[in-house]
Structure 1
Amino acid sequence: MRQQNKVLFYELVRRHIRELLPIIYTPTEGDAIAAYSHRFRKPEGCFLDITDPDSIDERLSKFGEAKDIDYVVVSDGEGILGIGDQGMGGIRISIAKAALMTLCGGLHPGRVIAVGLDTGTNNKNLLNDPLYMGNKFPRVRGEEYDIFMEKFITSLTKRFPHAVLHFEDFGVINGRPVLEKYRKVLPCFNDDIQGTGAVVMASMTAALKITKRELLDSQVVIYGAGSAGLGIADQIVNHMVTKGATKEEARAKIHCMDRRGLILDDMHDKSTPAQQSYADSAAEWEGIDTRSLVDVIEKVKPTVLVGCSTQAGAFTEEVIKTMYKHNPRPIIFPLSNPTRLHECVPEDALKWTDFNALVATGSPFKPVEGHVISENNNCFTFPGIGLGAVLSRATVISDTMISAAVDQLAAGSPGIADYKKGLLAPLEVIDETSAQVATAVILQALKEGVAKVEEEESPAGGKVSVPRDFDGCMKWVKEQMWKPVYRPMIKVEHVDSIHTHQY
């Protein structure tokens, strides 16, 4: 349906979004990606092959001219959802996120491109699969990968100079370095690092408001220090900095764990530089089992516990009750996808805390005894951030623009009025939520002087003018958003061209 009738597809999903989002995105999308080559019917998106880098520009050219494209989603398929390296099947995550940009962010479906980078795969099942359609060699690393990425970015900025670039499901090795290298070259962001961080930060902000606690007084344990976990840590730090803390003070309040346990400052040979920026002092943890989540919680006494580990059941009854012992209103976010990989289920987290925990998850769960379980889904953040960047013609997507999105999303929490109603606005009003987030992003971009929209000509003639008040700006945003409605058919009488031209 999405391929054949986009208006019908998007209107159907819009009307039944809670039921259909898990089908067009996670968790069903993960199964579709894993079986991509076996279920292949027709190509969608733009396929770029590391063995043929000179064809990048030609392949991108098939999707239009400079004025035709607003948004590009790209993945190299290495870190797909909770299922890891899926090689060329990763094109489907780009397709899914492009569809969500239309569904939730109101971008015209013809103005978004889904891109897959085929740089090989380390998935042995795919390498040995005779039906696998991607390159059958181990993932290319280092200089060759960097040159390929540079050619892609150069071609993209030349051919579609107004497009916002969305990095999706890159692996730990490349995700952060690629983002840091190019975020000042063109307006871009990494959804797994910044989008995930933003939605978690919004839920955390709402939970702190509900329980009347301050962000700068919080202690956070992040269980799972990969791209998503460190992205959440970064966003918490960025937000704390906007509230008056220094980076060093903010980082001291965050404690990250990976499969080797708590990240300590004497583990340089076992952890990445990004992980080391959150390392605890080894001297302060002498005599404590830093591989034990219970022992770490006993010492830290965290306000917030975040799970990005894909270790199902890691948040045991002992873990939750230890946290509850030191924190009468614990904030617990088991975020790993898909559902079978969650660190705990909301029902257990609530029962083990006498229903005093504030819980948000990474996949959809049904309410538990009247408590709505908000889904910390990136669709609450990246469509609004992306839409705001597109409409403002931002030259960069700054940390403060993302913080503005966080504050706006948190302000719309229904839990502030009644904590049982959840930490995030319901999915049914996602287009309204995205418009609000986009408005906050645009106003921040204008404030920072990185918005170039008012340098353009408006369709009615003259320069574009963006209202500076929130309500006026949001009205303008909504006017720009694509709606899934059929255009009216107007019958035009045929007129013989001989009688209409002057010779």
Structure 2
Amino acid sequence: MTVFENALSTHTGIALSVEELPTGCAIINNPRLNKGMAFTLEERDVLNLRGLLPPRIYAQDDQMQRILRRVRDLASPLDQFVYLMALHNRNETLFYRTIIENLEELMPIIYTPTVGYACQKYGHIFQDPQGIYLSAADKGDIKNLLQNWPIKDVRVIVVTDGERILGLGDLGAFGMGIPVGKLSLYTACAGVLPDHCLPVLLDVGTNNQKLLDDPFYTGLPQARLTGEAYDALVEEFIQAVQALYPHALVQFEDFANHNAFRMLEKYQDRICSFNDDIQGTGSVALAGLYAALRISRKSIAEQKVLFMGAGEAGMGIAHMICTAMIAEGMSETEALKRCWFVDSRGLVIAGRDGLNKHKALYAHEHPPAESFLQAVHDLKPTAIIGVSGQAGSFTSEVLEAMATYHERPVIFALSNPTSKAECTAEQAYKHTEGRAIFASGSPFAPVDYKGRQFVPGQGNNAYIFPGVGLGVIAAQSTRVTDQMFFIAAKTLSEQVSETDLEKGRIYPALSSIRAVSLQIAVAVAQLAYEQGLASAAKPDDLLADIQQRMYEPHYRSYV
């Protein structure tokens, strides 16, 4: 194999001989091979590119600076999103180089909060398909459709049916922006090879009438498939994945509560899979709580947590907090009693009718409380966690009450996008006299309050799922366990420095996320070996082995 063939196969997973190499416009139009004006004179000669490119040659660094200047010149985050997605579809290597080296600036554009608005407009800004669309009309043919994907060594799949996109609800086929965005973070934040990633949209219709009336809606213009027909389509998809991609991790993303819990229970012990909204959110929130306890000087056993919202995110966080409490010696019964929920009907309490089995676990004996504020006064929680999608539900009265009952109240406003946050960072600090330990789901700018600058932490799942996925891929784990997310949370919390804590930040800077993901991947892979789930031979140096697997977006030489 020539130097070129080796470089190409390393990047794409496809070994091509020089004779098979695309040339001319074909290579320029291949985003995985294209280098734009970075092709050297020698490459231009060999690849028949002379005359097809302007004569000047630019280094990748120069190309990146041009991209950054253009992004910064665009006033609208949506326009910035569209521009960066166009770059991804034109020059994948340059896209990832630009994202990785400017993650704090660009992640809010390619993911939360901008991706939510992009999904709402997805059919209006659509340029090129970036994944596989499997619709209800394709029943019986799912495996054949998956075989149309050009890369055969798929290791991680993010799949959604678009029914509960962030806090925005049913966006149907417009939800494809989420798998695409999540997988770009797998690569940017943890170095998972782009060619190992497959975004999938299960188009089962939508119940969003606004979309059904939209002439630019890209999905099936019909009501959502439900019941046995829905389950049969998901099952056919899972079986096709197992047949075609036996080493693939399946991440369920943004399914509605009624399907999310069912599918997690159905597939977690059968295939290598997890639900990021339940397990990933639980893990990142627990990591933030662990870091917050370093500020408050309290233990996990002393915490009482009140949730605003009782969906999959809240349940996932509560489960992870209970796991942590049990690990510290608390009984399961006592741990459950430390977590309380407020939903649309008020405080979740024992004896209330209509509770599903997940809410029933946290339905404790207590008089009714119709409002979140009343629940705060009654329970005096040490932490409140917002996962409701109800903007502004952490009112000034709620925040002031928390500050009255606790010296360092924990305030997590985790709903995405920013417009759905239960409170802003500024509100949290202002109404607690600067004593809140605050985190949010989407980013907030630093806040100056009474001569001190606070840097709010962002409890973004991107701190967790890419590292977990990298560890699972490296060990070729046959399953993803709850214990992996628990160890990921502990590992993440250990990466928070004292300097971070002094600024009020309970998560590491995003600029360090690849190093953080590496540590999480090592911990997860080690656990896979200990649990007997790894099918890959264990290397002598696990950290070095995983580190050398991480994708670095630099151009390869083609001559």
d(CA) in 2 for partners of 1:103 and 1:65? 19
Contact 1:71 1:113 in 2 (8 A): yes
Within-5 A mapping of 1:95-106: 95-106=180-191
Within-5 A mapping of 1:40-55: 40-55=126-141
Match of 1:328 in 2: 407
d(CA) in 2 for partners of 1:71 and 1:238? 27
Match of 1:13 in 2: 99
d(CA) in 2 for partners of 1:233 and 1:404? 16
d(CA) in 1 for partners of 2:440 and 2:422? 10
d(CA) in 2 for partners of 1:393 and 1:380? 21
Contact 1:415 1:423 in 2 (8 A): no
Tell me the CA shift for residue 417 of structure 1.
6.6
Letter in 1 for 2:549: Q
Aligned residues: 469
Give 2:356's match in structure 1, choosing from 272, 287, 309.
272
Contact 1:415 1:422 in 2 (8 A): no
d(CA) in 1 for partners of 2:502 and 2:435? 10
d(CA) in 2 for partners of 1:63 and 1:136? 25
Tell me the CA shift for residue 414 of structure 1.
2.2
Match of 1:123 in 2: 208
Contact 2:500 2:508 in 1 (8 A): no
d(CA) in 2 for partners of 1:359 and 1:262? 23
Letter in 1 for 2:322: V
Contact 2:384 2:410 in 1 (8 A): yes
Tell me the CA shift for residue 39 of structure 1.
2.1
Letter in 1 for 2:385: V
**Distance change (3 Å), C-alpha of 1:144 and 1:345:** same
Letter in 2 for 1:392: A
d(CA) in 2 for partners of 1:249 and 1:444? 27
Tell me the CA shift for residue 16 of structure 1.
1.3
Match of 1:179 in 2: 264
Match of 1:138 in 2: 223
Contact 1:222 1:256 in 2 (8 A): yes
d(CA) in 2 for partners of 1:195 and 1:366? 24
Aligned residues with identical type, % of pairs = 38
Tell me the CA shift for residue 272 of structure 1.
2.1
> Are positions 1:396 and 2:479 aligned together?
yes
Tell me the CA shift for residue 19 of structure 1.
1.2
> Are positions 1:414 and 2:493 aligned together?
no
d(CA) in 2 for partners of 1:440 and 1:243? 20
Give 2:547's match in structure 1, choosing from 450, 464, 478.
478
Letter in 1 for 2:539: V
* 1:70-103 CA distance string (max 9 Å, x none): 1101000001011110001111111111111111
Within-5 A mapping of 1:439-454: 439-454=522-537
Give 2:240's match in structure 1, choosing from 149, 155, 176.
155
* 1:44-80 CA distance string (max 9 Å, x none): 20011112211210111122576x1111010000010
Match of 1:365 in 2: 444
Contact 2:281 2:313 in 1 (8 A): yes
* 1:404-461 CA distance string (max 9 Å, x none): 101000011124774325101100011111101111111111111111111xxxxxxx
Tell me the CA shift for residue 234 of structure 1.
1.6
- Further displaced range: 411-420 or 126-135: 411-420
Structure 1, unmatched stretches of 5+, are 455-464, 491-503
Give 2:157's match in structure 1, choosing from 59, 72, 79.
72
Contact 1:210 1:416 in 2 (8 A): no
> Are positions 1:301 and 2:387 aligned together?
no
> Are positions 1:387 and 2:470 aligned together?
yes
d(CA) in 2 for partners of 1:310 and 1:417? 28
SS of residue matched to 1:441: helix
d(CA) in 2 for partners of 1:474 and 1:89? 38
SS of residue matched to 1:37: helix
Match of 1:254 in 2: 339
What TM-score do the two structures reach when normalised by structure 2? 0.82
Contact 1:415 1:424 in 2 (8 A): no
* 1:445-484 CA distance string (max 9 Å, x none): 1111111111xxxxxxxxxx324xxxx4322211111111
What TM-score do the two structures reach when normalised by structure 1? 0.91
Tell me the CA shift for residue 213 of structure 1.
1.0
Letter in 1 for 2:303: S
SS of residue matched to 1:104: helix
* 1:306-348 CA distance string (max 9 Å, x none): 0011111111111111111111111100111111221111112
* 1:25-57 CA distance string (max 9 Å, x none): 111111111111222222220011112211210
Match of 1:107 in 2: 192
* 1:133-172 CA distance string (max 9 Å, x none): 2112211111111111111111111110000011111111
Match of 2:279 in 1: 194
d(CA) in 2 for partners of 1:77 and 1:214? 39
Contact 1:312 1:343 in 2 (8 A): yes
d(CA) in 1 for partners of 2:150 and 2:90? 20
Tell me the CA shift for residue 349 of structure 1.
1.1
Contact 2:500 2:507 in 1 (8 A): no
